[in-house]
Structure 1
Amino acid sequence: RMAAKQPLSDVEDGLLAHLNANAEIPDSRSFASSLGVPHKDVEDVIKRLTAFRIVESADITKETWVLTDEAKGYAARGSPEVQLVAAIPPEGASKGALKERLGDVFDIGMKAAAKNKWIGFEKGNKDLVLRKVEDTRDELQEQLRRLENGEVIADKVIDDLKRRKLVTKEKSIWYSLKKGPEFVAKRKTLATDVTREHLKSGDWKDLEFKDYNYGAQGQPIAIGYSQPLLEVREAIQNIFLEMGFSEMPTNMYVESSFWNFDALFQPQQHPARDSHDTFFLKAPATTTQLPDDYLEKVKQVHQSGGHGSKGYVLVSLLQLSQRVYNLRLLSADMVTIGSEMKQRKTCFVLTQLQFQQGCYTS
């Protein structure tokens, strides 16, 4: 049985001491078993020492029988049949009580224990399970532990374990070892930094430093996050794009009040129409490129209502609609360059065709 887990430094010391005395280790798996440690620990030490050229290793590849997860549980806690017998008190126990205590192990243990004639039943009461033996030797647990430790098991035993689906064949790799060109009986730990204690004691003069690994990954850089308003703007942008609207640069684009305000049925007294929110042009100050029929429909809704609306009861829609201005949308970033106003951001423009085909037509 494996002993308590040893530090890898102890495993390394044991391996180097063995090589120093014997020059080679023909089988790392047997060596791990002799130390009472998992082969994985020995394998980790071998890889480390090989990197420093302290040892040289050669792979040994073989197909071996390994325990299934179920078998590992039996190796640790005992076989189902022995667990069952141990759970039966001298006066016996009901099947229900045993099943509740043992869980999934109960059914398997009942079959195996009955086959071994370790249990019986009270006459006339098949529900009461009685012990027929006082002591039981757990041969299954012994076999599983031997196999787990890498020992050779008889073919007949392997066949029984295969029948119970407790072992499976896997390709295993272990190693043969010999001294490397940089072999030492005790590996000296290389320093990675000069500490304050080294400087105070003067030990830094005798330190051997680990080679600097220029290919090592650096520490992750803490980066910032998106600004919340930018995330909201991007979300709104994606919504409009998914609806079929077009996105276009507007740093030199102008639009009439009709398409930007009136066709959207925005009130004529809305503050967005004021000069401090909208940049109107002096030349050209108005536009004549408005569709008369559609202008009349929008005018009618504004002044008299329609489609369930009372309208705004306002006049002079045509005069306001003809005004031309630099297009400005909410959150647009405006900067002054000399006396000119330019936009740096991209904003949405609803084309004339989209309005004509939209729900605002009557």
Structure 2
Amino acid sequence: MELSYQEKLTLIKLNEVKKAGFKDLVDRIGLDQVAVMRAVLGLQAKGLAKLHERSEKVAVLTETGRKYAEIGLPEWRALKVLKEKGKATLEDLSSVLNEDELKPIVGLLRREGWVNVGKEEGRLVLEITEKGLSAGERPIDRALRLLAERKIVPLSEIEKLVPVKELKRRKIAEEDTVTERLVEITPAGEELVKRGIELKREVSVLTPELIKSGKWREVEFRKFDIKAPVRRVYPGKKQPYRAFLDKIRRRLIEMGFIEMTVDSLIETQFWNFDALFQPQNHPAREWTDTYQLKYPKSGHLPAEELVARVKAAHEHGGDTGSRGWGYVWSPERAMLLMPRAHGTALDARQLAGGVEIPGKYFTIQRVFRPDVLDRTHLIEFNQIDGFVVGEDLTFRHLLGILKRFAVEIAGAKKVKFLPDYYPFTEPSVQMSAYHPELGWVEFGGAGIFREEMTKALGIDAPVIAWGIGIDRLAMFKLGIDDIRYLFSYDLRWLREAKLVW
């Protein structure tokens, strides 16, 4: 039977006493606690020793209890003043009690029957009673003395004097659990020691010094049991959802996409709706579907030339041949401020600011929408928006990009597309993927930007675009069935969540 140096030493020392408390065994061996515990567990696995553990609930003296043991409980200090004066006000007692002790003192003294309480000249007066004059040691005093002597007392012993909840209420003691460990050698362990154990220095690393000096012949090399139980270690790592977003961003950049960034979460309705050719009377612009800022209420519009083109597109279609929406466009409505409702607002900003043709752009942004919180909905969530602009793009290109997102990035097995409607795309499509727990889950919408939008923003080429709920993609990749878990404080999930590709 192969034993490590620590196991041999532990077995020899344990054989001297046959049975010992773990702390006593540590002192006897002279190694640190971790090394001794590892040796004991190794010996137990080999049938040479037994480790017995017994847990017991105890009362532990607090700092407040220690102070009371030195200067006396508040009621005894108050009673001392009353014995000297016969009567005392709360002001008189404040010389021996602090503010926290003074508040409950009247109730304490009355409950013991040590005082009568009355009023004189509008002030509360305490008068000592015969019972107060002859007061002697109580169970709580004996419990405090016992705690002061031993610091830790078994609950079964302390509750013979006073309920532990009373000591906890008065902050004299706290309840805790202690585990006592006892190590015992087995007959097999005794027999092995009797046959003789040779102790040789054990090393885990073959150093140049050992080779040069020849001492490697005199030592034993430690053998490691890779199946031995060890404490689980949770190394520092990124929050799983944060890591997922970073890898999505890196994958898109590797695919040649350019990231669109913005500093503020607040947007004007011009960029969030008007620049996207969404009419000002559309129900999605009302308080039931979007948040609005109370203060400041309005922002600023961009360059007049751009605003004029957007206005013309809304009112009569601009130079696209469209009839537009046929209403009088309001710049005041367009200036209203709101938390961004979708990342597509950044598409409009990027297109208006100029793009490469052909070009690919994306953004991952936090967006806000009034909704009912449940397993698949949040009111504050992340969205990945993007577009590709090029002279020869078709709807088939868009479907191919969307499917690649769902299958390669989210890991979805089944994907389907349904016709949809958005004011700023034509044709439009909704993408859904199958989740094993939730069934078919809608990821987002996509389409080809309408000319009324792109031409007003200065672009004269087809633009395919999409807006996808990246949180729902993460649900697939991280294997969860509740979207709220992405922002969870559950340490177990944060520690054990699987790494994403």
TM-score band by shorter chain is 0.3 to 0.5
Larger relative contact order (Cα-Cα within 8 Å, sequence gap ≥ 6): 1
Tell which structure's C-alpha radius of gyration is larger. 1
State the TM-score, normalized to the length of structure 2: 0.32
